[in-house]
Structure 1
Amino acid sequence: MRRDGAPRFSTPAFWLIFVSSALSNVAYSTTAPVLPRYVVEVLGGGPALVGSLVGLSPIASLVVQPFAGVLADRYGYRVVSVASGLLASVGVLFLLVSATVPGVAAGRVLFGAGGSVIATALMAWVLAIVAPERRGQALGVFGLGVWIGLALGPVVGENTFHLAGFGAVWLVCGALQLGSVAAALVVRQRADGLPPEEAAVVTGENLAGGAAGPTDGSPSAPGVPSAPGWRVAVRSVTRAGVVAGLVWATEGVLLTYLVLHLESRGVRPDGVFGGASVFTVFAASVVLARLAVGGLPDRIGARRSAVLALSCVAAGLLVIAAAGSFAMAAAGAVVLGAGFAPLFPSLTMIATERLPSSLRATGLGFFNAYIAVGMAGGSFAGGVLSGWWGEWSAFVAAAALAVAGLGVLATEPGHGLRARRP
């Protein structure tokens, strides 16, 4: 218990779940700089094959996201986290033992599918074991696992390759994924500290007809979302999911076109003050802001926090669109990172606040699918706009998407921009 009387979220169970997520994200990012080289040097492929094989994991992730939550609600978070982590490890094994296009393709599908399922299950697990008044802060810290993966994974992969070759990279990646499984396996959350419906889905007791049964009175099997249950989950997360899709489309634009945009303005791509370094500024801003104001959604409410965050995102993107120097682009990245920091926990809280616990992971699966579609759509639409008017136009359009997200929040019945804390 904290001095202010609020329950703590920092428990051994939470940190083990965090470690599981971080290791899984590091494993995923470890292959990023190495796989394209592997396709060219070992498989003899060209750019088209590189793009196809690299893209299989996010495609598989998008396809299984809605089902990931259903599995977690049905079988329990621990069981699904461990099983999906093992599935991802098998995917890495395919890369190790099969130097063929079909083998690599199968490995990428298994790796992407397993990784997306474990991400959804772990996120739902965090929401289940953390008190509602601390969920914003907990989600903010939990989400740092993604940034740890982005920061460490490529470095681990590239250095391992130069030291020992492709096989060593796949072994390290598999070991990291198995480490994620081990962390999830040893979580020991006391079910007697949770409401009965939470305890059932965390421990997997719903397998035996525990408390996490149907919430709509339908005769489906215990813990299995019926057709009405699916509709409840989709309806509950749609508004927050649309906002998330719009915002993560802006991240797709940023990741794909930032360096090209700055290069067109005379900023060199490499070096300490090069365009690529703006990504470092952005990531550091997200991490520092999340550590500093991670509890903002808990203090002022998820909707107000999301409104402030979306405003910062729009402002940061406009600054980057106008940037003609590293300093100006870095300033925009700081504002943008400050906006992204509370956005994920805020939108996740909005998405899940009306979900019964037996449908929480199901809803999160659909919510994450919106994010995946948004990132892919942002990269594609940004390319079209860049071809017509230049990269700056993609960033202006991205800022407009953030403003559109404000409009979506404002039209929510019973809430709007002046909504009280949920």
Structure 2
Amino acid sequence: MRAGTREPGQRNRKTMAKEMLINVSEGEECRIAVLDSGRLEELYMERTSSTSHVGNIYKGRVTNVEAAIQAAFVDFGLGRNGFLHISDLMPSYFGGKGEDVQETVGRKLARRDRPPIQKCLRRGDEIVVQIIKEGIGTKGPTLSTYLSIPGRILVMMPGMGKLGVSRKIEDEEERRRLRQILDQLNPPKECGFIIRTAGVGKSKADIQRDLQYLTRLHQNIQKKIKTSQAPVELYTEGDLVTRTVRDVYTSEIERIVVDNASVAERVREFFKIAIVIYMAWFLSTRGNKIREFLHGFLPPVLVAGAAFGLIVFQPDFGTAVLICAVVFTMLFVAGVNLLHALPMASATIPFIIYMIVKVPYRLKRVTAFLRPWDDPEGAGYHIRQSIIAFGSGGPSGVGIGEGMHKGGFVPEHLTDFI
């Protein structure tokens, strides 16, 4: 995630581990390379002009039903109506009899067994759709009601039945192992799942973590469907950077190098969310083992340490400290053994103090926080204005929209300033 270049000869190529390089040309193209010992292993490219909406999920409204071509046109909020053919309409939209039809992963209902689309949809009906193909010229994108939500290891298909393994995984023994793991995890019955090729060699814990992530994501989509008015976006696949970090990044990648500050910030934000999701999953599945050092305390500390080291040398000391604080707080609330936590905290706090004192601008920020009146119009300005805001508002505040300090006296709302 560091913007910059490495000096020639700084590291021996033979000792280099994997690294991810992200190059962004604003308004033109994004390129991501994965290197292994200095050699190109994977390359991903995406032009800004061709940024894809494929995979995005929307709650739309039917604008027209054309019986002649057995298709409907749907307004989903992007300006051009999408094209939905009867073959891409799930049985749940067929009416009463459709509720009894259960399709399985990879086997949709045949076209001849489907009712006419004019008996399924009417103008004004709300419908949940996913873009499966971009529009060409003046034609709108192709839509489907068969949703497919990818995780890192699994693909979730709401409304489908049964479980499957990607056909690209040819090893029969590995296919059986993965299928057995998925069966043991008892995934939601209302959704079908396919294990991607990225699942090869993954443990039960890895697959369970991805399953829980997709389940929570599906629950959030369902909440949006019930509370939002059409047309509205329910889920987006994200840009190339987010997709690649999600699907390609592993613990084998030693560092991420980015040449664009705003993109580096997006990657950091992704890791902040990811580590909280990991901690929530880990602590919720360990039970009483959380009080053990080897199986309860050590794994999350190692993960937090790796994230801390990756971010602190960007440098982004504030984010690194925030991650450590969140991890230790979650461990404490979960009931970790204090005999394990206190020695670690005792070692971490002096290191943080050293990192603050070592760099002048960090020390200046801390001293400004502790003594804002020493430089009231400079480093201490925002702290002083915050104290005034708290003092004038009191515990209950002055009311929504009534505060004066939003008028430029404190930093913008989009920062993490408190």
With normalisation by structure 2, the TM-score equals: 0.27
Higher helix residue share: 1
Please identify the structure whose Cα radius of gyration is greater: 2
With normalisation by structure 1, the TM-score equals: 0.26
